[in-house]
Amino acid sequence: MRFSGGAAGFHRTGAALDQALALHRRGTLTVPLREPLPLAEAARAHAVGEAGGLDAKLVLTTAG
């Protein structure tokens, strides 16, 4: 299994997956979130992601 961080030439491999699964099993896996955005703001979320410089994940929600 291979993960991509989105940048060219930046790949994570099975070792990273093993580490992530170990954290998940211990209940200590955390994923920083920038802010939840309503699905209606998907275009804005895309623009924010394209602008770069994020240190957290963008999440689209169906709940208001």
pLDDT exceeds cutoff 80 at 63? no
45, 37 contact by CB (below 8 A): yes
Query: What pLDDT, on a 0 to 100 scale, did the predictor assign at position 64?
Result: 55
- Cβ within 8 Å of residue 54, ≥6 positions away: 34, 48
Q: What is the pLDDT of residues 26-39, one digit of tens each?
A: 999 888 888 889 99
The predicted pLDDT at position 12 comes to: 63
pTM, to two decimals: 0.53
Give tens-digit pLDDT for 1-56.
455 555 555 556 777 778 888 999 999 988 888 888 999 999 999 998 889 888 88
